[in-house]
Homo-oligomer: A and B are copies of this chain.
């Protein structure tokens, strides 16, 4: 608010103040519904007497610009028709809904993959960790952070990833970031600056990768899979020096990369003097067998390892990590610095504390139990209602691939029936490159990617009965 200098006569100041308030309301700068500060506070802010403010509030309330309730304060709004009030109100209403796991217009039962059950988030333990962080960190710890992340968190993550995932993680090579997407953006910028132009990605794979890498100047080259993992002939033909992989549990097919293919992929990387990027997106969840260790542990100089708490705690925390080969560590740190000067410190302290106290391991065990039960609910329901369906990729992760018998197809008919029944499903073809879209259904069978972790077992059973009713498979 622009006021004349303190030396102007009070009456003039009062007039100017009132006019400024009127203009602000009319133009929509002060939106309808905005609560105005208490007169005492605004007076202190503007360096004027409180009387000047109360007079202005009363005048504008009388004029219909403001409304007030005794003892409750003063709001913008009343008779005035503001320039942008309607537009703003409408736009805000549509934006009130953040982009969440299940958008409000989506079906009641959504088999969206890659979404954890947010009701399992350990609110009390996380709140306690945050409170301890605020109680303990020294004042200077509130200053600009090390762009790589707090040393305490990098050490805690190095020990955690070493123990849980077999990652060779020197804290000096851990970079705390906001998640796997930022990890890929950071690497993309660094590789692009080195002169690389392309990154090989798995096909099927996440549709997000092309956009992420494009923002860093790299194009993506899809590489098809066979039963053991990404095909080496296609990788060799890609012309890329970098490949993004999900070796522990391929997204979305669920294939675990075979030991032989792991060796061959590393040999390829060494041969082209290149890099493998390991996205360990759901490495924390294994149900039937001992965990498959990270590929990174086999050759930490050829593999950059990325992970986050998005599947284990909550995507909204925006907390992840990147373990980089020594040769890239400095360049990645410089990029992290220019992108955001480092991650918020209180969240970092809280996660370091949460991991160090064993709360993270405890939470993972709790989720693992819940998700295993949901996976079992999905497989049991399918076995009962559609015994000919094949269910694969279920040893780990938060989703499964379900191949339905030919009678349930073709794809469009199945999807339309599911939509009408209020069940959202995504065909595997959704994750295929344009060139290969449909190839997975050459045998006439529809393959679906079903995320189950966020759905209670009862919902899973109901959704399956709606998806494959007895009438549909004939």
Which residues of A approach B to under 8 Å, CB–CB?
A: 1-6, 24, 27-31, 34-38, 41, 44-47, 84, 88, 91-92, 95-102, 115, 118-119, 121, 123, 126-127, 130-131, 134-135, 139-148, 150-151, 154-155, 158-159, 162-164, 166-172, 177-179, 181-182, 185, 189, 211-212, 215, 288-293, 297, 310, 314-319, 335, 338-347, 358, 361-362, 365
| Contact of A346 with B316 in the complex, beta carbons under 8 Å | yes
Question: Within 8 Å CB of A339, what residues of B?
Answer: 182, 185, 215, 339-340
Smallest CB-CB separation from A217: which chain B residue? B217
| Contact of B142 with A215 in the complex, beta carbons under 8 Å | no
Q: How far is B138's CA from A101's CA once the two chains are assembled, in angstroms?
A: 12
**20 CB < 8 A contacts A-B:** A1-B166, A6-B288, A24-B162, A28-B170, A29-B169, A29-B297, A31-B155, A37-B358, A44-B365, A91-B171, A92-B155, A121-B142, A142-B316, A144-B310, A178-B344, A181-B341, A215-B338, A317-B345, A339-B339, A347-B347
Q: How far is B289's CA from A370's CA once the two chains are assembled, in angstroms?
A: 61
| Contact of B99 with A3 in the complex, beta carbons under 8 Å | no
| Contact of A99 with B361 in the complex, beta carbons under 8 Å | no
Question: Within 8 Å CB of A1, what residues of B?
Answer: 163-164, 166, 291, 293
In whole Å, how far is A444's beta carbon from the nearest beta carbon of chain B?
35
Question: Within 8 Å CB of A139, what residues of B?
Answer: 118-119, 121
Smallest CB-CB separation from A117: which chain B residue? B139
Question: Within 8 Å CB of A338, what residues of B?
Answer: 181, 185, 211-212, 215
| Contact of A168 with B27 in the complex, beta carbons under 8 Å | yes
A318 contact from B99, B162, B342, B365, Cβ within 8 A: B342
| Contact of B358 with A99 in the complex, beta carbons under 8 Å | no
Smallest CB-CB separation from A27: which chain B residue? B168
Question: Within 8 Å CB of A215, what residues of B?
Answer: 189, 335, 338-339
In whole Å, how far is A296's beta carbon from the nearest beta carbon of chain B?
11
A314 contact from B35, B143, B212, B347, Cβ within 8 A: B143
